[in-house]
Structure 1
């Protein structure tokens, strides 16, 4: 998780950004494999009658409330909630001050079945004409996939776990936008239960503003959030040449305006660069398709999940490799993104505790532990990044970096000269 502030911008699976110390992100020799070993214990489900899953009191009371940015430029939100007794109204009343709701918006309602489970009535309502991020400082949660892990259950318990997890996150997701991306655990392909429609639960429950960015599919989209242009990709949808996702990303990168949104951030689930034994090289095909675009567009940061550990890379690329060149290893590249794996937010499967040895030259820091990250965008040239180890409920500061913007920091002197002339 990542929490980001875009003056401030957050990445869940976890990225949360606050102040960090001034380590450099440039390529160097100070590669670190943390020696910290977390004592694990068996993963035991929190009982469904625990307070954190509490069903709100009252007939047909809204529950599982969450919001996401609802448009391209941050002047709308999509509010989602569930009612269980009857459909009720999908209307949202809102205003510019507390207890004075002069405006209203009408939403839509849907529901679905999964095996013999029947969902509640799921409402999505677009509320536009807002300056929402002005109230939140741009604070956002970026969630890079694998939400509820409901697919690890069977039969009706799949839907029940979606309900309980959605009530659990409401304490955060109802008050600040969560930018979603889908992971492999959202696919839920379960033919033994008669369920063969991929992402069925996810697509019904979690709306995204894909149409606002010209996407034909909710699984890939983009938003401009304060000073960041955030692109969400789907690791488990076709993305090779001429597919809808490939065509969309090609056009979306052309729309990036670094004058309006200096920072360019990409979210995906399967990491392109990872030295962990778990899921090793699973992102290689996406790297082969998109890496040259990322480098040419000067993407600042790419966040991924999937691997249940933490790892941060230097700025590297492998775009020159071909059969005859022999350049088959990543090399330092000042135009390349930093790749950060933040699949360490917690899960039922345990940590991915084995890294390949020796540590590759492209890997700056890695640790197999639970944690969360924060990213605080200070201005158009610099951002503070921090990864915090979660050690038995305590936040332990572990990896801190100052990122320089790929577009503005690298061209700042030239731009100053241009302004003078």
Structure 2
């Protein structure tokens, strides 16, 4: 009895050491329109000019950040697939030719989808680019990341389950004011699958025009969610992910992946792994084989921050989608702990939640700990499926709050991860409080690799040696 009491107190104190005791926010937001923005609203409008490029978006185009994929749609005719770019606004020294495709969904025929890979870019540089021809040409810009380096600072935004409601617009605009340089998107983009027949395609178009105000200027790192599957036998549409894969390319080949739905990139000081919750992932599947090899390629000396994106959360204390991530947890959690993943971002649940560092890798049905336990080698799990879609918030949390849950709230918002150096990053979750941007949950994230005692001593020793070697010699007697 005393032993059990001692264990319980130790467990509780460990959670306290990880942060404050778990909090369920008492905040209750007032109603804000949770309906899709009407088609005639100006934020969904088609740009001026015949066959003008629209739905412009960019993503990283290679493994290390020296390339981008620029995508756009022309509605009236194929037009040009050229991207003209340079280092000065209005002066485009280089022209690259892209590719062209389109697709049908039921009786909807997409516009002409252009995708252009721009390679050989300089790090930490602002580029200006132009697409389209004549009076319909449009001009944008983007910035490349710093060179891959362990102390490269960089600020990511994290958004999930966005949709195209007034709440979605609020999230998007607040994110754009955050100063973040690119978005880690954790699935469920347009929610076009909530429509039927030709309206599915129409709502993919409106989503692309809505988010263009950000996606045309900085890369969004895409992952797919359940609303991208679009399996509709009653319409004769049984090929999963057709719209998503046609419109949103990923640099999967750069990380030796066999499928665009799972891949990896390195950006600044971060190694980012994107997983697909709705593709086969158990042992011996292509995704499993690929992830096993990708983890071996991670070099924490060059990219100390290891981040994983997925759609379905592994740890979730909301009634919505509870336990849906259990099969992926049992498949991959041991790897997440072994390779000391820093943080795992997921969506799917339309609320916000952050965990402590915990794991359940010792439970094997016939023995081991039956509950998650504190584990300093484990990731922090963060659910940000709160972008603002028309399905509304998941407001019913399980009671009592599990010991692994640090903070949870049913509100719309976005997150930022501001990497400062190889050891520390600052994380914020920003609530959209009826149109206001409010930092509600924040903490300092300590790097799992360089934050350990051994690595910290090594870092301090190397830093001291560099300071001594750079200091001019002065004789002392």
Asked if TM exceeds 0.5, the reply is yes
**Relative to 1, partners in 2 of residues 1:132 and 1:310: Cα closer, same or farther, differing over 3 Å?**
same
User: In the alignment, which residue of structure 1 is the partner of 2:358?
Assistant: 316
Q: Of Structure 1 and Structure 2, which has the larger fraction of its residues in helix?
A: 2
- The answer to whether structure 1 residue 247 and structure 2 residue 289 are counterparts is yes
Q: Residue 203 of structure 2 corresponds to which residue in structure 1?
A: 161
Question: Is residue 66–residue 170 contact of structure 1 (8 Å, CA) maintained in 2?
Answer: yes
Extract unaligned runs of 5+ from structure 2: 1-14, 127-142, 146-153, 155-180, 466-477
Task: Give the 3-state SS of the residue equivalent to 2:272 in structure 1.
Answer: strand
Partner of 1:70: 61
Once the two structures are superposed, residues 165-190 of structure 1 have per-residue CA deviations (whole angstroms, 9 ceiling, x without a partner) of: 10010000000000000000000001
- TM-score between both structures, scaled by the size of structure 1: 0.92
State the alpha-carbon separation in 2 of the partners of residues 83 and 243 from structure 1: 38
Tell me which of 57, 77, 81 is aligned to 1:86: 77
Kept after mapping to 1: 8 A contact 2:338/2:377: yes
Q: How much does 1:398 deviate?
A: 0.7
Compute the RMSD of aligned alpha carbons: 1.6
The aligned counterpart of 2:472 is: none
Q: State the Cα deviation string for residues 153-206 of structure 1 (Å, max 9, x = none).
A: 001100000001100100000000000000000000011011000000000000
Supply the distance in 2 between the matched residues of 1:323 and 1:272 (Cα, whole angstroms). 18
When structure 1 is superposed on structure 2, of 40-49 and 390-399 the one drifting more is 40-49
For the residue of structure 2 that corresponds to 1:181, the secondary structure is: coil
Contact 2:271–2:306 (8 Å) recurs in 1: yes
Q: Does 1:207 align with 2:255?
A: no
State the alpha-carbon separation in 1 of the partners of residues 334 and 255 from structure 2. Answer: 22
Partner of residue 363, structure 1 = 405
User: Deviations 1:338-378 (Å, cap 9, x if unpaired)?
Assistant: 00000011111111011111111110000011111111000
Q: Tell me which residue corresponds to 1:141.
A: 183
User: Which digits, 9 at most, give the CA deviation of each residue in 1:125-168, with x for residues without a partner?
Assistant: 00011135544455110110010000000011000000011001
SS in 2 for 1:275: coil
Distance across 2 between alignment mates of 1:376 and 1:48: 36
Normalising to structure 2: TM-score of the pair?
0.81
Which aligned pairs between 1:11-410 and structure 2 lie closer than 5 A? 27-28=18-19, 30-40=21-31, 43-131=34-122, 133-135=124-126, 136=143, 138=154, 139-410=181-452
Three-state SS of the structure 1 residue aligned to 2:323 is coil
The CA distance in 2 between the partners of 1:202 and 1:179, in whole Å, is: 13
SS in 2 for 1:408: coil
Which consecutive aligned stretches of 4+ in structure 1 deviate over 6 angstroms post-superposition? Answer: none
The verdict on how the C-alpha distance between 1:387 and 1:25 changes in structure 2, with shifts beyond 3 A counting, is farther
C-alpha separation in 2, matches of 1:25 and 1:384: 20
Structure 2 CA distance for partners of 1:26 and 1:158, relative to 1, 3 Å: farther
Q: Is the 8 A contact 2:34 2:388 kept in 1?
A: no
* 1:322 Cα deviation from its structure 2 partner: 1.8
1:251 is paired with a residue of what secondary structure? Answer: helix
Larger Rg belongs to: 2
Question: Equivalents in 2 of 1:68, 1:133: separation in Å?
Answer: 16
Mark the CA change 1:417 to 1:113 in structure 2 (over 3 Å): closer, same or farther: closer
**Partners of 1:25 and 1:163 in 2: how far apart?**
47
Call closer, same or farther: CA 1:133–1:141 in 2, change over 3 Å. farther
Note the C-alpha offset of 1:412: 3.4
Please state whether the residue corresponding to 2:448 is helix, strand or coil.
coil
Q: Residues of 2 paired with 1:31 and 1:152: CA distance?
A: 35
Distance 1:192 1:366 in 2: 38
Partners in 2 of 1:100 and 1:314 — Cα distance? 50
What secondary structure, in the 3-state scheme, does the structure 1 residue paired with 2:222 have?
Answer: strand
Shift of 1:100: 2.0
Check whether the contact 1:316–1:333 (CA below 8 A) recurs between aligned residues: yes
Alpha-carbon distance in structure 2 between the residues aligned to 1:150 and 1:133: 36
- Secondary structure, in 3 states, of the residue corresponding to 1:38? coil
Aligned residues: 398
Shift in alpha-carbon separation, 1:221–1:33, aligned structure 2, 3 A:
same
Instruction: Provide structure 1 residue ranges, at least 5 long, that are not aligned to the other structure.
Output: 1-23
